[in-house]
Amino acid sequence: MSDCHLLKMNHMYKSFDGVCVLEDVQFDLYAGEIHALIGENGAGKSTLVKILGGIHRPDSGVIELDGVPVDIPNPKVAFENGISLIHQEISLFPELSVAENIYVGREMQTRGFINWKKAKSEAKAHMLTMGLDISPDIKVKDLSISQQQLVEITRSVSADAKIIVMDEPTSSLTDAEIEYLFEQIKMLKQKNVAIIYISHKMDEIFKICDRVTVLRDGKHIVTKTTSEIDYPTLIRHMVGRDIVNFYHKREGHESDESNDGDIVLEAKNISNKHLKNVSFSLKQGEVLGFAGLVGAGRTELARAIFGIDRIAEGSISLGGKELAVNSAEDAIRQGIALVPENRKLSGLYLDQSVSFNITITILNQIISRLSINRKKENNVISGFEEKLKIKMRNRSQIVRTLSGGNQQKVVIAKWLVTEPRILIMDEPTRGIDVGAKSEIYSLMKEITGSGVSIMMISSELPEIINMSDRIAIMCGGRLVKIVDQKKDEITQEIIMHYATGEYSYEKH
């Protein structure tokens, strides 16, 4: 890491609609440094890096590159200055080839014509330096998420990027893919490329980053080397308080087979093109966690129970009565709700208001004489705004403009208003900060205490272990083991033993 500042952002201010989102923020970056930028959702991280990337203009403040003040009015100028943003949502063109994506907007030309032969050759060479051995002709849509991320990084490196911003780069990656990405990041560091690393995964911050800057409520709180700060102190800086009993797991909840808890849902030998003879039961007021690697069939199981995907064989019973769930509408009528894995793609109407999103599932209850009864609507929203601590300017605010954590709370509220008996939560805390996570865990404790049963799918093993009463482990479309918190000693190693296929099939 160089001793010279590559970047300085001094006294940055930014407001939207009269609301201040950045107030006198300072941020600096050295060449060859991996610098974590963290904070709760809505802390100002995205706004700060979007100013750096030319997406937003600051109200005031100065940006210096190599000690020289620069104006960055748009993303093209940012890119020309060696600044590249890799967003959480992949921003490649899926129908174009890898080579076309790497050189889009800066095509190589010979005598007025695009020289694709040279572009493909150089794209291949750049990809090989990133350890990505794929054809430059392959369409991006045919790549894995981790390969797509490496294509984005290759595009940045091929344009001689000095600064690369990575926003939640590991949110959709397996453990093996994360380790591979880290190796590529370390390689970039050795080439004196600076990385601004945004993540809510604290273990990654301490594993890969040199320094960490914390923002809270649009203000700079602290910048420290990762070696001089510990996890509890970092969390306290982020949320402005100590978080006690982070997981909020309900004490004394019996979930073993000897208890008298009613079975509310039972799946028997469910099979389709993704699932193979999956059987399990869900008890009233329990959290049944579903663990497994990417592609294990967890999301596909949730979709089958919620009626999105067809079940070829097997049955689902609710309260002892067999169900015919052929659509999501059928599931909702039976008291089943699904918080999907991708809130932006499947969970929200992004260009509609908070109030619209929360009440869309109960329109029949708030429509009176062909118009919405605003009093009923406001009563519904008020209760969930308070219960879930949704931070918004007002209820008319467009959901797209909320932070990730508040978007997730809106999705949860949207389904809780239906008063479900069973709530399926697929990756309920992905991409949200520790404060919002703690609030969602507290909510899960509260609703299971009221008798609602939760099926929770999560790739975060500490979350699975600490929030679940029982854990169902899937591998290759099969449910291979159910472990019980009251009976078994559960560790991450035990879960991975079954999730990776290192087992003999067991009846449970």
Q: What angle do CA 160, 161, 162 make, to 5 degrees?
A: 115
In a domain, 262, yes or no: yes
Whether residues 139 and 224 share a domain: the answer is: yes
Query: Residue 476 has which token pair?
Result: 């290759």
How many separate domains does the chain show? 3
| Residue 342, domain member (yes or no) | no
CA–CA gap between residue 247 and residue 143 (Å, rounded): 36
Q: In the predicted model, is pLDDT for residue 239 greater than 80? A: no
Report pLDDT digits (tens) over 426-456: 999 887 777 788 888 989 999 999 999 999 9
Residue 254 pLDDT exceeds 50:
no
Angle, helices 434-449 vs 231-239, to 10°: value is 80
Contacts of 10 (CB under 8 A, 6+ apart): 26, 61, 62, 63, 64
Going through 299-378 in order, the beta strands assigned E by DSSP cover 313-318, 321-323, 336-339, 367-368, 371-372
Strands (E), 183-273: 194-198, 211-216, 219-225, 263-271
71 domain residue, yes or no: yes
Q: Using CA atoms, how far apart are residues 298 and 291, in angstroms rounded to an integer?
A: 8
What is the rounded distance in angstroms from the CA atom of residue 164 to the CA atom of residue 82? 8
Strand runs labelled E in 353-439: 367-368, 371-372, 422-426
Region 213-241: mean pLDDT is 89
Domain of 439: which CATH number?
3.40.50.300
Supply φ then ψ for residue 497, to 5 degrees. -55, -45
> Is 490 found in the same domain as 476?
yes
Helix (H, G, I), strand (E, B) or coil at 328: helix
> Tell me, what's the pLDDT at 477?
92
Using alpha carbons, select from 455, 496, 412 the residue that is nearest to residue 278. 455
Domain identity same for 231 and 247: no
Sequence-distant (≥ 6) Cβ neighbours of residue 18 within 8 angstroms: none
- The answer to whether position 278 is within a domain reads yes
Last residue in a domain, options 389, 417, 445: 417
Banded model confidence at residue 2, pLDDT cuts 50, 70, 90 = low
Of 176, 210, 239, the residue that ends a domain is 239
Distance of alpha carbon 409 from alpha carbon 454, whole angstroms = 16
More confident residue, 252 or 273: 273
Looking at 207, 239, 271, the residue that finishes a domain is 239
Q: How far is CA 10 from the centre of its chain?
A: 30
Q: Is residue 341 part of a domain?
A: no
Q: What is the mean pLDDT of residues 269-279?
A: 94
- When pLDDT is cut at 50, 70 and 90, the band that residue 24 belongs to is very high
What pairing do the DSSP bridges indicate for beta strands 60-65 and 34-38? unpaired
Q: What is the C-alpha separation between 160 and 432, in angstroms, rounded?
A: 31
Threshold 0.75, pTM exceeds = no
Would you mind telling me the total number of residues written for the chain in this entry? 508
For residues 415 and 104, give the distance between their C-alpha atoms in angstroms, rounded to a whole number. 41
Residue 102's nearest CA partner among 18, 31, 158, 172 is: 158
DSSP secondary structure, 10-61, as one string: EEEEEEETTEEEEEEEEEEEETT-EEEEE-STTSSHHHHHHHHTTSS--SEE
* 174 in the same domain as 87: yes
Instruction: Pick the more confident residue, 291 or 156.
Output: 291
Q: How far is the C-alpha of 318 from the C-alpha of 493, rounded, in Å?
A: 33
One domain for residues 413 and 477:
no
CB 290 within 8 A of CB 498: no
Helix pair angle (404-416, 374-388), 10° resolution:
120
Mark whether 65 and 140 lie in a shared domain. yes
Say yes or no: 167 and 287 in one domain. Answer: no
pLDDT of 244 over the 70 cut: no
48 pLDDT tier (thresholds 50, 70, 90): very high
Evaluate whether 339 touches 424 at the Cβ level (below 8 Å): yes
CA 501 → CA 349, 457, 473, 480, 504, distances in Å? 39, 19, 10, 9, 8
Cross-strand partners of 479: 474
Inter-axis angle of helices 434-449 and 404-416, nearest 10: 10
**Cα–Cα distance measured from residue 40 to residue 391, given in angstroms and rounded to the nearest whole number:** 12
Q: Are residues 45 and 74 in the same domain?
A: yes
Give me 472's structure tokens.
């169902």
Helices (H), 73-115: 75-80, 98-103
Q: Give 170-209 pLDDT, tens digit per residue.
A: 877 777 778 888 988 998 999 999 999 998 888 899 999 9
**Does residue 340 lie in a domain region?**
no
Residues spanned by the domain of 11: 5-239
pLDDT tops 60 at residue 36: yes
Residues 90 and 198 in one domain: yes
User: pLDDT: is 200 or 37 the higher one?
Assistant: 37
For residue 35, list its beta bridge partners: 196, 211
| Sequential DSSP letters for 175-187 | HHHHHHHHHHHHH
The count of other CB atoms within 10 Å of the CB of residue 117 is 11
Is 401 within a domain? Answer: yes
pLDDT tier at 492, thresholds 50, 70, 90: confident
| Poorest-pLDDT segment among 102-111, 184-193, 391-400, 429-438 | 102-111
CB 119 within 8 A of CB 103: yes
Mean pLDDT of 38-53: 88
* 220 and 303 housed in the same domain: no
* 38-63 mean pLDDT: 91
Q: Is 167 or 65 the better-scoring residue by pLDDT?
A: 65
Rounded average pLDDT over 46-63:
94
The reply to whether 252 and 220 lie within a common domain is no
Q: How far is CA 337 from CA 308, 429, 477, 481, in A?
A: 12, 17, 22, 25
pLDDT in tens, 354-373: 988 988 888 877 776 677 77
For the cut 90, the answer to whether the pLDDT of residue 49 exceeds it is yes
User: 398 pLDDT band (50/70/90 cuts)?
Assistant: very high
The torsion defined by the Cα of 252, 256, 261 and 267, in degrees rounded to 10, comes to 130
> Do both 20 and 73 map to the same domain?
yes
In whole numbers, what is the pLDDT of the chain averaged over residues? 86
> In sequence order, which ranges of 159-297 are alpha helices (DSSP H)?
175-190, 202-208, 231-239
Residue 292 in any domain: the answer is yes
